[in-house]
Amino acid sequence: MDGETKIYGVIGDPIGHSLSPTIHNVAFRKLGLNAIYLAFQVKSENLVRAVEGFKALNIQGFNVTIPHKTSIMSLLDKVDPLAEKIGAVNTVKNVDGKLFGYNTDGLGALQALKKSKVKLDNKKIVLIGAGGAGKALAFTFANYAKEMVILNRTEEKAVKLSKTISENFSLQVKGLKLTQENLKNELKNADLLVNATSLGMYPNVDETPVDKNLINQNLVVFDVVYNPLKTRFLKEAEEKGAKIVNGLSMLIYQAVEAFKIWTGLNPPVKTMFKVALKELKHGK
């Protein structure tokens, strides 16, 4: 580090678990860039001051994670139309003191599924979760799917998101309360089942959003949780013969998109995967 080092980072609360510094710093090193990526724990009541501080210190860009993805939006100078529609920002770029917000979560998920050779065209998708990640995935997948069912513990959130999706896209969509009964009915003829909640994330590794007996071998099951790499949800789906996709690919590919936004360069994806896996295996 020296006086010319460009600083990037991630803000959230909690943030100690984040793999983002590992992923981005290895990419900076590999490409020979004089840059560093740091994790900043920012509590909700300090968000405004943190953003002002980032501007003052000329931080070049930062990722945004729970719980700031929505509240950050009013503090930005400009928000990308897709992020505006989703109602969540996960990537911010500083351009001459002006902050621009983007959402790369959906693209990350799309790339993760593509890498696993999963096609979304004309498929029925059952999506669990209507929060930040759920919204991003719903908006992205709606470009391809023929039918989407959004389930959430708070039914109103699922209904609201389904209405927004149907106003913007021409597919069959509905929002329901997350119950095993509703899941049972919807999974009979579904192609893709997605968990876009934090259920099953370390340390709550015994949690799962779906009773394993509702999962069949015709499903592709995708979990946005990446720690543990194979959640209880994915383990049980695999036991039932379903094809599974873990959350690490999504994490890496949303980071790849953020890296491109900040630097205009293509990062070394394989290297990023390698260090992330290594860190996860060492119990990050």
The DSSP line for 50-114 is HHHHHHHTT--EEEE-TT-TTTTGGGSSEE-HHHHHHT---EEEEETTEEEEE--HHHHHHHHHH
Query: Is 106-245 assigned to CATH 3.40.50.720?
Result: yes
For residue 234, give every residue at least 6 positions away whose Cβ sits within 8 Å of its Cβ, in sequence order, or none: 221, 223, 244, 246
Q: Is the pLDDT of residue 14 over 60?
A: yes
Please count the helices (runs of H) and the strands (runs of E) in the chain.
10, 12
Least confident of 81-90, 125-134, 253-262, 275-284: 275-284
- Model confidence over 31-69: pLDDT tens digits? 999 999 999 999 999 999 999 999 999 999 999 998 999
Q: Where are the beta strands (DSSP E) in 96-214?
A: 98-102, 124-128, 147-152, 172-177, 192-195
**Cβ atoms within 10 Å, residue 189:** 10
3-state secondary structure of 10: strand
How many whole angstroms separate alpha carbon 112 and alpha carbon 194?
Answer: 12
Rounded to the nearest angstrom, the gap between the alpha carbon of residue 193 and the centroid of all alpha carbons in its chain is 16
- Model confidence over 179-207: pLDDT tens digits? 999 999 999 999 999 999 999 998 899 99
Looking at residue 38, what is its pLDDT?
98
**Under CATH, to which class is 6-103+249-281 assigned?**
alpha beta
For residue 179, give every residue at least 6 positions away whose Cβ sits within 8 Å of its Cβ, in sequence order, or none: 151
3-state secondary structure of 271: helix
Whole-angstrom CA distances from 162 to 165, 192, 195, 280 are: 5, 17, 16, 34
Looking at residue 278, what is its pLDDT?
95
Portion of the chain with pLDDT greater than 90, in percent:
95
3-state secondary structure of 247: helix
Among candidate residues 6, 30, 55, 69, the one labeled active-site is 69
3-state secondary structure of 209: coil
Amino acid at 141: F
Q: Is the pLDDT of residue 284 over 60?
A: no
69 is catalytic: yes
For residue 189, give every residue at least 6 positions away whose Cβ sits within 8 Å of its Cβ, in sequence order, or none: 124
Q: Where are the domains of the chain?
A: 6-103+249-281, 106-245
